[in-house]
Homo-oligomer: A and B are copies of this chain.
């Protein structure tokens, strides 16, 4: 019997050959990325006691819970492209929304996370809302998205999502996997499918015409129950909006429970890094499309089965969604390639791996943001840095009013705000509509003394040193990331030979 090779040993040998040598294969490690669409801090995990999110709360108990996580851009497609490239929107080319007339796309030469994973023999899957392109830059082995399915089905029908996750996990493929479940909840739908309610909170609830999602047990909230964030007007209209959002967030929470149960059933719960976050701020005034803290702060749960000692701990370390690509590459021990997008300048990730935060608290205290468009007509480029308690925002098109998107414009909250403003009634908001539209070129806030970002310190001489420090750091990041807007709005970037800003003398 000594000379006979057992079948399983032969298979193992063949695997060793396939992976190129004698090195013993590392233990399989996988990644599950769960993304909310316009989600915020409406969860018990983030101390909201008005909403019931048992599944997120349970995940948080097995996660490091980041209190200072920020998206680099508060807009859907740009944020998703940034998450999946590790590059800010101005560097990956997704300057605004991807669909229809907006028509933004990442540059063809960008090397995305799914590309890099696929090349490293990681199986990739996406279920839900993709909203980025071109297809060649963002390939997935397994894809059920708005490109081949109804986004309501693959993004909000949690029974359908569960079935797709099961199908992905039941594959006989032996490669490690990266599965990206991009919920369409709790995105508004008053603009696109108003028949289901302002937040699609009725979609699939079993009422007449609403369809039925068997796995969903809808939770209803009364307007007086909700917690109104400081940047949202405290009005009946906004409270009704938030109550609807809670119901939709609850559907996503139950979907997350189903997905995690599928992971356990398939036996991957002890080998999979689970990440939960959201793409951008909630769709309320001061939220989505804004680079205020209120528009960029995101929930971020990082759950590693290998780091139980940090489970349930809260981290104050600064994290950026630009860190997700470096984190996932680090988890898989894949180096970032050396290449350039334009010219000869090598692409450098400015994000960091978050894995050290799974070991111990980290001193990270700075994140950067960059936004250009949302809709193609909504040109309002901003660049921002949050360093410790200070946030500096550079509004490049500041002489024009801040733009309002189609989806947000028709929301009950904004319509109510418009109507109250026109009628001269109290808005119960922490600013006026005029202040919201017209912003200073530079906005500097001390978020520890002024958590509502109400007092612009940019011109306060006492803050001149911190203003100059942050401005210099922001400018350096813009140069490092090849920002085409690095010289805007009062100079021209001349790139030949020695890139520099040449003054326009346009009196800005």
Contact = CB atoms under 8 A, between A and B. Distances in A.
A228 interface: no
A400 B95 CA distance: 20
A359 B438 CA distance: 56
Oligomeric state, in copies: 2
A376 interface: yes
A485 interface: yes
Interface stretch (A140-148, A269-277, A499-507): A499-507
A463 to B, nearest CB: 26
A379 interface: yes
A105 B376 CA distance: 13
Contacts of A192: 496
Interface residues of A, number: 47
Contacts of A434: 507
Interface in A415-451: 418, 421-422, 433-434, 437
A104 to B, nearest CB: 8
A489 interface: yes
12 contacts: A93-B101, A194-B496, A375-B484, A379-B379, A379-B397, A399-B400, A404-B492, A404-B504, A410-B494, A410-B502, A418-B505, A421-B505
Given A95-B376, A399-B400, A400-B400, A191 B496 contact: yes
Contact of A484 (B101, B410, B421, B433): B101
Interface in A394-421: 397, 399-401, 404-406, 409-410, 418, 421
A406 B484 contact: no
Contacts of A433: 505
Given A377-B484, A410-B502, 11 more contacts: A100-B342, A101-B482, A194-B496, A375-B484, A376-B484, A397-B400, A401-B504, A401-B508, A409-B492, A422-B505, A434-B507
A222 interface: no
Contacts of A507: 401, 434, 437
Contacts of A410: 494, 502
Central interface residue in A101, A418, A484, A489, by most chain B CB within 10 Å: A101
B401 A489 contact: yes
Given A95-B376, A433-B505, A494 B409 contact: yes
Nearest to A508: B401
Interface in A469-498: 482, 484-485, 488-489, 492-496
A95 to B, nearest CB: 7
Given A105-B105, A376-B484, A399-B400, A406 B505 contact: no
A107 interface: yes
B342 A406 contact: no
B488 A377 contact: yes
Nearest to A99: B342
A418 B490 CA distance: 13
B397 A502 contact: no
